[in-house]
Chains A and B, each alone.
Chain A
Amino acid sequence: MEIVRPQNRRNLLSSSNEAVSAPTIPLYRSAPPLEVRLEDFESFAIDRLRVLKGISDGMSRGKKAEEMENLVKDLWKVNMRHQEATQVLNKDIISHFVLRLVYCRTEDLRKWFLSMESALFRYRFRLLNAEAQRTVMEEFDLPYRAVSNVEFESIKEKLGQVARSMGQPSPTADAIFYKVPFEEVPELVAGRRVFINQGYAYVAMNQIVSLVATQFRSQLSKALILTNRKWTSSIREQEKHRLTPIVEALSSSYLGPDYSQSREYADISLKDIDQVAKSSFPLCMRHLFDKLKEDHHLKHGGRMQLGLFLKGVGLNLDDALAFWRSEFSKKVGLEKFEKQYAYNIRHNYGKEGKRTDYTPYSCQKIISSTPGAGDHHGCPYRHFSEENLRAALSGMGVNSQAMEDVMDKVRNRHYQLACTLTFEALHGMPCDAGINHPNQYFSDSQKILKPKVAYSLQLVIQTNTC
């Protein structure tokens, strides 16, 4: 299906900038009573998906708030305009509700959609002027009042401390603060960006985005569950021949493969594992693998990250048990391994507890993890000190020129690009898609290395027969 006709492009570009500076943001509280043409149904959704996917990429590169703001502004401008100015808002609303249907259907899909839509809302909110922000806030009908002068005076010193701890000037007497239960602003609590006293957080006017974004998120989260119920109970069946195929195609096209089942290069066996670890593991896994061999132990975060990766690579449960057993038993003994660790390995393979077949971690998840004392998991490009990263890279065989390129990406917090460059340096081949998943690194690497083997075999056969 043709998504955007080229002759329309020009018209689009000439139309106004209103999409970004629209006076307000819809809160998507109820589905619009609009008639939607089937092709709009799909093309609007794809346009919005481009925005969400762009946000997801930006976040996994560790972009700062200001960078994200610009990114969202551009993504929105490019994808979400409409030739008729009056239709801009409709497109926004329709595309949201279509994707809600697409992404309501599993826990993973909901999670992804929820965090991308929340991020989109957040940055669109930040782009609004103060008056428009207040309008949105009023629409949420939040029951919070600004802190009185008397109360402000009594905690002025603490508020100043918080501001200065973030490198901002102390608030002046006319600054507005809202006093809200700390539960309402988890991200401000997590970053210690608010003063908290007796269960209340003091939120500055310029932090109010956290408050509305949290509201937006929790409303959307509930709505997604309801949509899912409606989908399974009626919509899927009713729309079997019309919307259902579109909906099902849309979700799979953009999230990428989940690598929970290894396909092409399945069944690596135990005897090959040392060799493929050297040739085809990304640094994050290579490091865990080496540490495991060295210490005969990994803490929980490391066991999860490496264990699920190995599962994705094609190590079956019996081999996985044998692999972990052979290392751990050297340190903790066989008995303790069987008692304390074997359960978790079977659990990862969906053989214990909830019996969920867990999926290997993506780069985004690994980058955002928080390894602590004694931990070796996480993304080396993000979590290693510069010296350690350099040592690890040269250990892998990255030459000094490539090393500088990698370090340059690391300094700009493009961790996945740094990993991509490492891949390219080691394989002598471009990796156009970029690295988004450790298991993708592995399969791309095997694709490059394995055919060579097959090819040289072929040569041998040919020369023999000559």
Chain B
Amino acid sequence: MIPQQEPDFNLNHLKLYYGKLFPFADLVRWVSYGNDGKHPGCDQSYIGRREFSFTLENDIYLRFQSFHNALELENSIKEKTPVKIDIGPVYTVDPAKRNAYAQSGDNNVFAPVERELIFDIDMSDYDDVRYCCSGADVCLVCWPLMTIAIKVIDTALRDDFGFKHILWVYSGRRGVHCWVCDGKARRLTNEQRGAIADYFRVYKGNENSHKKVSLMGAALHPFLATSYTNVLKNYFEKNLLTGQNLLATEERYEKILDMIPDESIASELRGRWQDSRRSSSAKEDINVVRWEQCKQLLQSGKHKAQGLRRCIEEIVFCFTYPRLDMEVSKHMNHLLKAPFCVHPKTGRVCVPIDPKRCEEFDPTTVPTLSQLIEELNYEGSRADADGESNRTSLGNAITLFRSSFLQPLLKACKEEIENSYNLKLQQSKNSLGW
């Protein structure tokens, strides 16, 4: 478990963090999407129409903040020392001046026009399938659930939807955030966002319904089939089954037997598992043995009947498949915490996660505020003040942000701006010539 030590977070340290380490310039270059350049196609008003929102100490919310450049953002943050910074959508007009526009009478003047497609995955939504911890706590035994989520969603966003510029961020405590930043993604309507979120939705249960995952039809949709064979099955059998001891006790295996619609099979398995003498061969892990028995019985020829065909897959999906907070993804105007914030409860920095190597990510070794300040003090005693983040353990995180996300993104943005400018030029030329 990640200890929730108070010393990991205090406002003086946070002030120092914003003063010396927080990558303001990178953050603003990102959300400017190339519009901070000199090219005549750049939209100079773009960054100023983005909503930032600050949470100050004692939960004072400052919504609809806006800034024209990195320096303004930096000054404001240094002055106010927010414990949390959220990023909202880009609006039609400067959100700080929304009231002035509202008085003009037309309600439609102030509306969101662009927003990254975002996903929020939170470990507390998995409480019915993890036994190591619950609620806001996470540990290395349940973290693989997040790894699975990143792999499944990231692959589908790239291969199915064709998105390229995707940023994954540790939320600082119990989950991950995903920002899809392609121009096409930023301009999706709420309906289209909802459609993508629904495409990812498999888990249909609520607290009062019986089965949580229900897979119908004679085949799985290609996206589900690929996720199953490439990610879910392996993680279930090689990791979660034993890590979470999914079949070790009666209470736990009953949950799985509950998902088998054929009562005779369920009771046959129950009979075998209750008889502990026979299964205590000690050599093999009891979860693995029981899972093999379950598979064997469900997939043996005589039971290939209707309804049971999908049962093994349903169990695996139920215990592994990503659970998204749908509402966050469906609406343009949802706020999401900015990367590189410090989580006030854990003191951990919201660092980017490399989706290609997400299985190596360890939430328990993410730099904490107090650790960074200590490093800063140590470094400060012997070096100049330039590029301080490079010499703290935040350096790797910032390097990752730049190399794997920001640079390719800005390159694509530049091309997009130039292309659309040239196209416009071409069009106006044509219309003149005509």
Contacts and interface: CB of A to CB of B under 8 A. Distances in A.
Contacts of B204: 370, 372
Given A225-B108, A388-B208, A161 B221 contact: yes
A15 interface: no
Q: Which 8 pairs across A and B sit closest by C-beta, in order of nearness?
A: A199-B162, A186-B195, A371-B206, A190-B198, A385-B210, A164-B219, A339-B59, A190-B195
26 contacts: A164-B218, A164-B219, A165-B220, A167-B218, A183-B192, A186-B195, A189-B196, A189-B198, A190-B195, A190-B198, A192-B223, A196-B223, A287-B208, A353-B63, A371-B206, A371-B207, A372-B204, A372-B205, A372-B206, A373-B128, A373-B206, A374-B206, A378-B206, A383-B206, A383-B208, A385-B210
Interface in B76-128: 108, 125-128
A287 B205 CA distance: 17
B159 interface: yes
A370 B205 contact: no
A197 B326 contact: no
Contacts of A339: 59
A182 interface: yes
B207 A373 contact: yes
Interface of A: 158, 160-162, 164-167, 182-183, 186-187, 189-192, 195-200, 225, 287, 300-301, 338-340, 343, 353, 370-376, 378, 380, 383-385, 387-388
A165 B219 contact: yes
Q: Among B126, B203, B204, which residue has the most Cβ atoms of chain A within 10 A? A: B204
Q: Among A161, A199, A375, which residue has the most Cβ atoms of chain B within 10 A? A: A161
B326 A372 contact: yes
Given A189-B199, A372-B326, A197 B160 contact: yes
A372 B323 contact: yes
Contacts of A343: 61
Nearest to B191: A186
B307 interface: no
A343 B335 CA distance: 15
Contacts of B160: 196-198
A375 B204 CA distance: 11
A338 B199 CA distance: 36
Q: Among A158, A186, A187, A301, which residue has the most Cβ atoms of chain B within 10 A? A: A186
Given A164-B218, A167-B218, A182 B161 contact: yes
Contacts of A195: 222
Contacts of B1: none
Given A161-B221, A339-B59, A199 B203 contact: no
A186 B219 CA distance: 22
Contacts, number: 119
Interface in B133-167: 159-163
Interface of B: 59, 61, 63, 108, 125-128, 159-163, 184, 188-189, 191-192, 194-196, 198-199, 201, 203-212, 216-225, 323, 326-327
Given A182-B161, A195-B222, A339-B59, A373 B199 contact: no
A106 to B, nearest CB: 10
Contacts of A167: 216-218
Contact of A198 (B159, B205, B327): B159
Contact of B159 (A197, A378, A383, A384): A197
Contacts of A160: 219
A133 B368 CA distance: 62
Nearest to A378: B206
Contacts of B61: 343
A387 B192 contact: no
B217 A376 contact: no
Given A191-B198, A376-B206, A300 B327 contact: yes
B194 A385 contact: no
Nearest to A163: B219
A370 B325 CA distance: 11
A170 to B, nearest CB: 9
A199 B184 contact: yes
Contacts of B189: 183
A380 B108 CA distance: 36
B209 A192 contact: no
B224 to A, nearest CB: 7
A297 to B, nearest CB: 11
A161 B207 contact: no
A323 B12 CA distance: 38
A186 B189 CA distance: 10
Given A196-B160, A198-B162, A380-B208, 17 more contacts: A161-B222, A162-B221, A165-B217, A165-B221, A165-B224, A183-B188, A183-B192, A186-B192, A186-B195, A196-B223, A287-B208, A370-B201, A372-B206, A374-B206, A384-B208, A388-B209, A388-B210
